[in-house]
Chains A and B, each alone.
Chain A
Amino acid sequence: MPNENMQIKAISGHPGPVAGGNVSRDYDVCKLIDTTTCIGCKACEVACLEWNGYEFRETTFDNTYQTMPDTAWNYWNLIKFNEHEDENGMHLLMRKDQCMHCAEPGCLEACPADGAIVQYANGIVDFNQEHCIGCQYCVTGCPFNIPKFNPTTKKVFKCTLCSDRVGAGLEPACIKSCPTGCLHFGTKEDMKEMAEKRARQVQTTTAYKNAGVYDPDGVGGTHVIYVLHDKDHPERYGGLPKDPRVPIMVRLWKHPLKWLGNIGMLAGIAGVLIHYVRFGPKTVDKKEQTKP
């Protein structure tokens, strides 16, 4: 049943455990993007706009094939183009950039608003704009620079992995539009296997001997994985980080520092009350002003 996969697994800024958590069988979804067969046609960009109901936004032309410099609050899916040159010539590297749906999402960890970011049991990380307070802390938590702020509505938006479609048993809109079959959607296990198989095929049948799968451990793995021509240089694909992690400042501040502060505030209140019980109020002598 698709709805079981939409069970909430984690909630941002929420005290206590998730109600009804951990009761269903693991069933992770995953999007596989094979950069070796992407032709940069941008059908996925159009499909994303169509399904999510956005009109094409204004952009800047900077003499590349890339539609715009970066994803935007109303443009969640962008193919990043990079002309990489090495001793074998020029390689036009193309990577579909969108939310990676991390297993350990930094956005969710950084968010202070109860219910603004949720992670479903199937791995999708989703923003609930009605609970978003527009603080943009999620932006600091994301190692992929994905959440984007809408200055008019003061809400943050990003790719939902078409949680509305997936919840109804459909594949994401981008997957449906891809003409070369470089996009696949299924369980994480199946996609991982397919990706490894394709990487081995690229290694043995092409000159890209270092082809491999991108599923970074630093964020607990992702629910969007890539097959890259050169797994050791993901940064060549429009700045895909080599070892993405939730920034140390976010982790430090959300856990040890915050608890130190909580304990400090409680200790301060307890301290002054104990002081009052021990010493009581200061008393003023009635004949004070006549003293020397």
Chain B
Amino acid sequence: MSTQSVVREGTVVSPGEVVRYNYEERLCHWANGLTYVFCLLTGLAFYSPYLYWLSVVGGGPATSRFLHPWVGVLFFLAVLWMHKLWRREMAHAPEDDDWKQKMKFYVTNQDHLVPPQGRFNAGQKLFYWLMYYCAWVFMISGLIMWFPEKIAGGAHWLLLIMIPVHAVTALISIAGFIIHIYMGVLLVPGGLKGVLYGRVSEEWAAHHHRLWYQKIKKQ
């Protein structure tokens, strides 16, 4: 019997653990996370005078204004990277509908009443697609807000629509983001470690993602 750790899929796993996210998936997740948080904080600075001080994150108001769109482009590229990795696994699965109907049991931590889920549960898929579509709206409205003077000889009237669209999209993504952070850091112990180091315990995998656990155990 060996208690030695092994490296699998770029991830150090000990006995009793399985690989939750491989090396590339973890890199991709944090590329998304860091660029999103930078844009979130600098964006909030421009959103409210009471949060203008947040522009120190980008090195002052004017520098934040300069960096926000560039980092936004990086965020968009990170989202596309994630889409390449996960879009198949984020597709709708039969067990998702049942999960959505029984979501109240999940929310109230009565997990034994929640139907078994694949690698990503229906809630995670919801958050994924929310951020994916938000990223597209961010990018399109953001491009117009970036160069209004260069579009069609001055598209400042478009800004009237694009500024609120960009902000409402941000608010929608923030709603998802608050829940995402809450669940990853507080509600689901083991979740943050899973996406940092890539490994989770077999119990964790069986509890939260039984169908996925059964599948990888068969392999």
Contacts and interface: CB of A to CB of B under 8 A. Distances in A.
Interface of A: 13-15, 112-114, 131-137, 139-140, 145, 149, 151, 154, 247, 249-250, 252-253, 257-258, 261-262, 264-265, 268-269, 272, 275-276, 279-289, 291
A286 B163 CA distance: 50
A17 to B, nearest CB: 12
A178 to B, nearest CB: 30
B61 interface: yes
Contacts of A269: 178
Given A140-B159, A261-B47, A272-B182, A284 B203 contact: yes
B62 A133 contact: yes
A252 B145 CA distance: 19
B188 A136 contact: no
Interface residues of B, number: 48
A139 B174 contact: no
B33 interface: no
A15 B61 CA distance: 16
Contact of A284 (B61, B65, B178, B207): B207
Interface stretch (B48-56, B76-84, B86-94): B48-56
Given A137-B159, A284-B201, A112 B189 contact: no
A134 B65 contact: yes
Nearest to B159: A140
B171 interface: yes
Given A275-B107, A280-B109, A284-B189, 17 more contacts: A112-B47, A112-B49, A133-B46, A134-B62, A134-B66, A136-B149, A136-B159, A140-B159, A249-B160, A250-B160, A258-B167, A272-B179, A275-B187, A276-B187, A282-B189, A286-B203, A288-B203
A284 B190 contact: yes
A262 B66 CA distance: 24
Contacts of B66: 134, 154
B186 interface: yes
Contacts of A15: 49-50, 52
B49 A133 contact: no
B164 A257 contact: yes
B163 A253 contact: yes
Nearest to B52: A114
B29 interface: no
Contacts of B38: none
Nearest to A281: B189
Contact of A13 (B49, B167, B203, B204): B49
Contacts of A279: 107-109
A259 B148 CA distance: 26
B51 to A, nearest CB: 9
A289 to B, nearest CB: 4
B213 interface: yes
Given A136-B148, A139-B159, A288-B207, A113 B182 contact: no
